[in-house]
Amino acid sequence: MSQRRLGAEARWVRLARWLIITGTVIGLLLLPPHLSGYRLRFLTLLFLWIAMASNWNLIAGYTGYVDFGHAVFFGLGAYFVGILMVRADPAVWVLDRLGQTEALTLWLEGALAGANPEGLLATLGFTGPGEVLRLASFLLALLAAGLGSGLFALTVGLPTLRLKGPYFSIAMLGTLIATREIVRNLKPLTGGGEGLTFPMKYYPEFVFFYFMALLVMLLSVATVAWISRSQIGYALRAIREDEGAADMRGINTTLHKVQAFVLAAALTGLAGGVRGYWDTYIEPDSMFVEQMTVQMVMMTMLGGIGRLWGPVLGAVTLYYLQEVVWANLLKLHLIALGLLLIAIVLYLPGGLLGLIAPNGFTARDLIRRWAVEPTEEAEAAHD
Amino acid sequence: MTTILQLTLNGILLGGFYASMVLGFSLTWGVMGVINLAHGEFLMLGAFLAWLLFNPQRTDVAISLPGSEISLPVLALAGVWIFLALSFVSYRFGLRRLASRSGRGLISLVMGGAVTGVLYWVWRDVFSLAPIDPFVSIPAVMLVLFSFGYLLQKHLINRVVERPHLITLLITFGISVILTNLALLVFSGDPRQVILTYRPNVNVAGVTVPTTRTFVFGVALLIMLALHLFLQRTRTGKSIRAAAQHKMAARTVGIDIYETYALAFGISIALVGAAGAMISPLQAVWAVMGPPFTLKAFTITALGGLGRIQGAMLGGLVLGLAESFIGFYVGTGWGVATAFILLVLILILRPRGLLGGELPAEVQ
């Protein structure tokens, strides 16, 4: 196969890849009306898991800093949203500062009165101005959750990212456990062990959470995709392979590590925020759980660690397996998860992607493996 | 003044326990570079075993599988464990020269069964199934956990011990998930407690000396002394230290590294099992008690430096005192947070530990 031919094939593969991705996204956007509530919930959770696994992959897979406490950012995101929405109403607060609350409420009432009852807002369950404000509050709180988690990651990451290997892992596990205890003890702010209940006055239709989760997932995957192709991605991989050498080559290791960590944390915070509002009740024991990190680790390892599509594939496979096969084996489920983790580590270190496409979805690799039976001549030329 | 004395005493007693709890963790880390994330879960197993032997009459412990409820008498569970452990130990240590390779397994099973039978008979007929005090059941707990740890290292962890840290961390993480959930399955999520009868505390000059905690402290010191003597005086102990110091050199002089690793891991798990048995009268025993202990073990190891008993004692004391004082002046819920803050501080300020460890910590 000549070089020119391969270039043409590569263009086709690239085009096909874009078509598949765009098609999937459009499909997912149009899907909700055709699905039952159960399937919708399943997909929503799946999106959140894909997002979280991708984020974990960013810090652990690309950078090589194995974060055993990543669930802390999920919990923090939920708590940021919870505290803001319970203790304050961010949208109303902002509007009050601007002196625009009444004007906007009136305008909204007028606008909603003339709105199509079948329109988007109505579908999502927003029919009155109060509910729209509520939505705005949630979005502001979610933004704050992302920023807050990122900021927390910055303060925790600056010291802990200096630690290497297992030290970092355990320090993060410690962060998770300690944060749970701190949240439990800060009763006036977080509600302590009794948890926080979100105001139920306006609660959107479920589809809303579907779209939010989809958004968070797309954001996460797109961020990882962007990073893996950008200079930061190369820097991160260099850090993973040999931090000292990367430093010697003039890579600002601290900056890049912290960048990756903060991004991963902020995106996980968004996922936590969506989940928190959806659950309407959060407590330390359900939001800061080690088991959540286990899931992220498992999904990433199963799909293929350090690969863009690894966590996505892993999350889909594992979550589907869990839902279908292990729904009946509730108690054995986590034991099976642990066994699976050990089995993957021992026998499938590259994950499923390592089986399907060990060298990535490049044109050359895909063509060689799947499309064309390579002739001896082509093999020789390739080698 | 009395308050401060009291808090200091509590801290020291707690510190002694922590020191003995952390020995195993420090040993595996120092000898084979494996950070055992399932450390706390092995402590939980030890505590549960002690609880089982303390409550022989309890029949409410059941293995509940989906669809069916198989109720197992508690004793059968503990008995099977002890039987297997005895067989294993006699297989490993007693029968090298006694029988051919093929016959060894059977003989050891018979021996294990015989010893378990005699022990059970003595317990049933002489002591009429009296609750076994956790301090008395420590040897049994250590035996069971030693066998468990030895086999785990021999057949699982030795396969990955040469690979990057991530792999061993993930393996031990997997083990911890499995153990926690097995315990949830067998013992349910209810907290259990071992209630000892010798509760009365001694009052010395206004300071209350808690009896059980003092016992724990004493046994912890004994265990530390025993480990010290074992590592310094015996052949196996020396080979463990040699493997820790220089793997290749140890191999060159004819030490079977992997066998040594397995022994070291078994000993480490036995030690933490003993700590679990000791802690069972002092706190609720339940399936999810492990992770804080893993975190504390890590903190103490980071505080005291790797692979020395003095380091473990110092780190344990510092953490014990800090927890005792912060628990009193700030709030009891802050213990774990204390451990974590201490950990981060020490990793940043003195990455080689307070004493300066022999093995450099991999910290910049």
Phi-psi region of A88 (alpha: psi -120 to 50; beta: other; left: phi over 0): beta
Residues of A in contact with B341 (CB under 8 A): 178
- pLDDT value of position B40: 92
Element (H, E) at B303: helix B290-304
- pLDDT value of position A179: 87
Chain B nearest-CA residue for A178: B337
- pLDDT value of position B18: 92
Q: What is the pLDDT of residues A196-220, one digit of tens each?
A: 888 776 677 788 889 999 999 999 9
Across the interface, whether the CB atoms of B182 and A337 are under 8 A apart is answered no
Q: Which of B251, B176, B337 is nearest to A335 (CA)?
A: B176
Question: What is the rounded CA–CA span in Å between residue A137 and residue A93?
Answer: 9
- pLDDT value of position B271: 93
Please indicate if any CB of chain B lies within 8 Å of the CB of A119: no
Polymer length in residues for chain A? 383
More confident residue, A379 or A154: A154
Across the interface, whether the CB atoms of A178 and B337 are under 8 A apart is answered yes
Question: What is the rounded CA–CA span in Å between residue B340 and residue B319?
Answer: 10
Please indicate if any CB of chain B lies within 8 Å of the CB of A325: no
Across the interface, whether the CB atoms of A294 and B177 are under 8 A apart is answered yes
Residues of B in contact with A72 (CB under 8 A): none
Across the interface, whether the CB atoms of B295 and A173 are under 8 A apart is answered yes
- Provide the pairing of β-strand B207-209 with B202-204: antiparallel
Residues of B in contact with A160 (CB under 8 A): 344, 347
Chain A nearest-CA residue for B167: A345
Residue type, B32: M
**Residue found under tokens 């007929």:** B125
Q: Which of residues 51-80 of A touch B (CB under 8 A)?
A: 60, 64, 66, 68
Question: What is the rounded CA–CA span in Å between residue B232 and residue B240?
Answer: 10
Residues of A in contact with B40 (CB under 8 A): none
What are the structure tokens assigned to B201, written together? 């505390």
What are the structure tokens assigned to A224, written together? 């990882």
Residues of A in contact with B332 (CB under 8 A): none
From the number of C-beta atoms within 10 Å of its C-beta (0-12, 13-18, 19+), residue A328 rates as exposed
Q: Is residue B167 classed as helix, strand or coil in its secondary structure?
A: helix
Q: What is the pLDDT of residues A295-343, one digit of tens each?
A: 888 889 888 888 888 999 999 988 888 877 666 666 677 788 788 888 8
The pTM score is 0.79
- pLDDT value of position B361: 37
Work out the average pLDDT over A85-103. 75
Element (H, E) at A231: helix A231-241
Question: What is the rounded CA–CA span in Å between residue A318 and residue A324?
Answer: 10
Q: Which letter does DSSP use for residue B192 in this model?
A: B
Helices B257-279 and B235-245 cross at an angle (nearest 10°) of 110
Residue type, A271: A
Lowest mean pLDDT across A49-63, A166-180, B24-38, B209-223: A166-180
Interface test with A, best of B153, B158, B165, B173 (most A CBs within 10 A): B173
Across the interface, whether the CB atoms of B185 and A291 are under 8 A apart is answered no
Question: What is the rounded CA–CA span in Å between residue B217 and residue A337?
Answer: 38
Question: What is the rounded CA–CA span in Å between residue B145 and residue B138?
Answer: 10
Q: Which of A47, A267, A252 is nearest to A161 (CA)?
A: A252
Question: What is the rounded CA–CA span in Å between residue A294 and residue A28?
Answer: 27
- Provide the pairing of β-strand B68-71 with B202-204: unpaired
Residues of A in contact with B299 (CB under 8 A): 174
Nearest-Cα distance to chain A for B154, in Å, is 15
Q: What is the pLDDT of residues B22-73, one digit of tens each?
A: 988 988 888 888 888 899 999 999 998 888 888 766 555 544 444 444 445 5
Question: What is the rounded CA–CA span in Å between residue A48 and residue A32?
Answer: 16
Q: What is the pLDDT of residues A239-278, one digit of tens each?
A: 888 888 888 888 888 899 999 999 999 999 999 999 988 8
pLDDT of B206 strictly over 60? yes
Across the interface, whether the CB atoms of B291 and A68 are under 8 A apart is answered no
Across the interface, whether the CB atoms of A174 and B343 are under 8 A apart is answered yes
Nearest-Cα distance to chain B for A176, in Å, is 10
Please indicate if any CB of chain B lies within 8 Å of the CB of A248: no
Question: What is the rounded CA–CA span in Å between residue B261 and residue B250?
Answer: 12
Lowest mean pLDDT across A5-9, B231-235, B250-254, B324-328: A5-9
- pLDDT value of position A367: 56
A 10 A CB-CB count for B224 gives 20
Residues of A in contact with B177 (CB under 8 A): 291, 294, 334-335, 337-338, 341
Q: Is residue B223 classed as helix, strand or coil in its secondary structure?
A: helix
Residue type, A277: Y
A 10 A CB-CB count for B245 gives 14
Share the mean pLDDT of chain A: 82
Q: Which of B189, B179, B173 is nearest to B286 (CA)?
A: B189
Q: Which of B296, B304, B303 is nearest to B338 (CA)?
A: B296
What are the structure tokens assigned to B330, written together? 């700030």
Q: How far is CA A331 from CA A336, B49, B65, B151, in A?
A: 9, 21, 8, 26
Please indicate if any CB of chain B lies within 8 Å of the CB of A349: yes
Q: Which of B53, B25, B48 is nearest to B38 (CA)?
A: B25
Contact A94, A140 (CB under 8 A): yes
Nearest-Cα distance to chain A for B163, in Å, is 11
CB nearest to A177's CB, from B177, B291, B362: B291
Q: Which letter does DSSP use for residue B208 in this model?
A: E
Residues contacting A19, CB < 8 A, separation 6+: none
pLDDT of A149 strictly over 90? yes
A 10 A CB-CB count for B329 gives 10
Residue B304 confidence class, pLDDT cut points 50, 70, 90: confident
Question: What is the rounded CA–CA span in Å between residue A175 and residue A169?
Answer: 10
Question: What is the rounded CA–CA span in Å between residue B30 and residue A301?
Answer: 27
